[in-house]
A and B are shown apart, each in its own frame.
Chain A
């Protein structure tokens, strides 16, 4: 047993992070979201998908990561895909990443990023109007005015059957977002001063930050383990913990930022809104909890206790 990242996995993570910082750094994120000053910024229409970036992701192997080498892919596995998606979640990278990744090898151009693929996930479709190919039954799709400014959404009447790999990659994005909001909160707590000292010296703030980290580390262990085993129940557990880490992490990060956290200009709300939106993918928490409850009965029976 060596349940730690290998050197190659570390290098891959660093590579994806470097690419995303360079190609989708904070300025790009803010440009995509729109300005913070007056008016009705919060109700802005969502910007389009950056196709040049999409192709660059394709060239870097983001979509073809798990495709066998003989089929033109990178030939890596779920653990590596999880590390890449964690970075995407951290950078708040927009677009139908999971759908396009899952389409690699099946939809021409998906692997290379020349084709944008959207798919029904749960009873929602992200990026429907921007997609070149749409998978799943989108008959009767109705546009929502998406709460997440970087994720256009449609609702569909017929939910797609759940896909555990999609759920795992979503959990990886949630993990990345949770790790980032924790880091952002800590950074703010170290530098913002009130009452003559950094607010991070106040225990109430300190303890919020500690709890954020605890949720991140517990979720990380669950997500990475699910990537190694590929077991649907491990994935169900991972998604519950990663959703919790991302949603609560973003809220606590907002709290640590005070009034600044409530502004359009801060990035915190973007993480919270995306976390909310990701948590609606797949079957939702209820189904994951039910599956894990059922497992308690069957695994107890299996062990013959």
Chain B
């Protein structure tokens, strides 16, 4: 068990810090939450800077245009960028973390050449069209249909909760191509251009007040067959491959950020007198233990994946279960520290408290994660 970083890793960290120190002061002002074109430009601009400096797609394989860095390097990158206050992946999320890795693993040479470089260079934004009104946790029951017409698929149906849909160039879309087959076997993965005729995007306001996701209605949208990744009806497997890219690093930046917020909370409490409240102070102490442990669990998972062990994605379920809960507890504690100001939307922590509510739902609800842990790690029988 070794928690020290190699000399080469430390050198990488030092170079990265130096670069961040040079480049961050020159960034434009952060756009407001509702300024979607502004947010897109800001997030892509940051990705371009990473690309030019050789940090884009750090954890992608070299063949996919990435840098082939080890999970440890990737961990250092995420830790340092967060500590320096660099922008979050934002609109680049699906491109860098879902669609891109899927195309890298399952796409043809032509598809990789077409779609991967623009993601790395910060030129194109992807969104994820998986969930539907009647297919959430039970994603494989999705019903958006696609049928062949010449060299195109014609797609009709609707998607929901699609983050970044309004500013995306492409959508990684799951469609049903065989209604007779068992539900997991009739699904196909398509890259749909978001400017195709027949697509209507209707923004949905979240409980935090901003439009973070959207409904996407598809009315006989034509998608070239050439945009299919993997075989027809093999889309479920194609999608699940992406899970193996989850190497325990999905929440690294956020854990670092939570630890910073916790320090800020303590100082705020000291300033406004709430620090003298013993139960509250002890609660903050316990949260410190919690986030220290989550950081160690991250290092554990990263080391495991570096050794090539573990069940891909499953260790991530353990982490996500605890982290999503801890994040909610953190912002509940923030509300205690703020007192009446916890009701003021002008306080950043109030808005963050609202956003934290999505963590036990998005990307697989906590109930679904518990099923995964029970069935895939503990080997308990599937329910009927």
Q: Please report A residues at the B interface, Cβ cutoff 8 Å.
A: 1-6, 9, 79, 186, 189-190, 197-198, 200-203, 205-207, 209-211, 213-214, 217-222, 224-225, 227-229, 233-234, 236-238, 240-241, 286, 288-297, 299-300, 303, 305
Contacts and interface: CB of A to CB of B under 8 A. Distances in A.
Which of B72, B285, B306 neighbours the largest number of chain A CB atoms within 10 Å of its CB?
B285
Interface of B: 1-6, 9, 72, 260, 262-267, 270, 281-286, 288-290, 292-294, 296-297, 299-300, 302-304, 306-307, 309, 318, 321-322, 367, 369-371, 373-375, 377-384
Which of A227, A228, A238, A292 neighbours the largest number of chain B CB atoms within 10 Å of its CB?
A292
B1 A206 contact: no
Contacts of A213: 318, 373, 377-378
Given A1-B72, A4-B300, A9-B1, A293 B377 contact: no
B381 A198 contact: yes
Contacts of B373: 210, 213-214
Given A2-B303, A197-B381, 18 more contacts: A1-B2, A3-B296, A4-B300, A186-B378, A186-B380, A190-B380, A190-B381, A201-B383, A203-B370, A218-B318, A219-B293, A222-B292, A237-B292, A289-B283, A290-B282, A296-B263, A300-B266, A300-B267
**Chain B contact surface mostly:** helix
Contact of A292 (B267, B288, B318): B288
29 contacts: A1-B3, A1-B303, A4-B1, A4-B300, A4-B307, A4-B309, A197-B381, A200-B380, A203-B370, A206-B380, A210-B369, A210-B370, A210-B371, A210-B373, A218-B294, A220-B300, A221-B296, A222-B292, A224-B1, A225-B3, A225-B292, A225-B296, A228-B1, A233-B292, A237-B289, A238-B293, A293-B282, A297-B263, A300-B266
Which of B267, B300, B378 neighbours the largest number of chain A CB atoms within 10 Å of its CB?
B378
B299 A1 contact: yes
A241 B289 contact: yes
A61 B3 CA distance: 26
B9 A1 contact: yes
Nearest to B266: A296
B296 A224 contact: yes
Contact of A202 (B1, B321, B383): B383
Given A1-B72, A209-B378, A297-B270, A228 B3 contact: yes
A265 B281 CA distance: 42
B1 A79 contact: yes
Contacts, number: 179
B370 A206 contact: yes
Nearest to B262: A296
Contact of A210 (B260, B288, B378, B381): B378
Contact of B263 (A219, A225, A289, A300): A300
Given A1-B9, A206-B383, A296 B299 contact: no
Contacts of B266: 293, 296-297, 300
Contacts of A205: 380
B304 A4 contact: yes
Contacts of A299: 263
B39 to A, nearest CB: 26
Nearest to B75: A1
Given A210-B321, A218-B297, A234-B292, A290 B281 contact: yes
A248 B284 CA distance: 21
Given A200-B374, A293-B285, A237 B293 contact: yes
Contact of A211 (B300, B302, B370): B370
B317 to A, nearest CB: 9
A305 B380 contact: no
B296 A206 contact: no
A190 B375 CA distance: 11
B381 to A, nearest CB: 4
Nearest to A226: B296
B138 to A, nearest CB: 15
A202 B380 CA distance: 10
A177 B383 CA distance: 28
A217 B297 contact: yes
Contacts of B375: 206
